[in-house]
Structure 1
Amino acid sequence: MPQQSKYSDKEFEAAMQDVFVALEQNNANSNLSLMVLGNVLSSIFTQQVAPEKRDAMVAQFCDVLKRAVKGN
């Protein structure tokens, strides 16, 4: 999901690699990986995003994810 970010490529790549390693260490197939990532996302949205901003941020995230999966 390429977007302009306040984080460096190095920071992003390191965090993403850590997530992939954790999933691989647990032999997580695609279904388990998506379940885990979905729960992590739900937790982030509910615990770190203000309720009044949550719906808009979830919608924006979903739109970006759809475009990324389609390759746009």
Structure 2
Amino acid sequence: MPQQSRYSDNQFESLSQDLIGVLQKHKADRELSLMALGNLLTGIFNHQVADSHRESLAREFTRILLKSIDVKATNGQKNKL
């Protein structure tokens, strides 16, 4: 069953496109993009997630990320970035 989001498709797509646009504007290659996004994620976890939930949320995020990049799980589709 697909998970319901509290965010609209438009809101999600707009934010995603803005983030991708910033990376493209700075001509960030894969390494720089991953470094910047990793730093952003670290800041979100450290400043917006309670200490008591941080590890479990990071593990869940990692699990979902790994599932989303699994070729079998995505039917061989490549992400735009």
TM-score for both structures, normalised by structure 2: 0.83
Structure 2: gaps spanning 5 or more residues: 74-81
Cross-structure match for 1:30: 30
Higher helix residue share = 1
Question: RMSD of the TM alignment (CA)?
Answer: 1.3
- Of structures 1 and 2, the one scoring higher in RCO (CA 8 A, sep 6+) is 1
1:27-70, Cα deviation, whole Å (9 max, x unpaired): 00011000000000000000000000000000000000000000
When Rg is computed on C-alpha atoms for both structures, the one with the higher figure is 2
Q: Tell me the number of residue pairs that the alignment of Structure 1 and Structure 2 aligns.
A: 71
Asked if 1:55 corresponds to 2:55, the answer is: yes
Identity %: 41
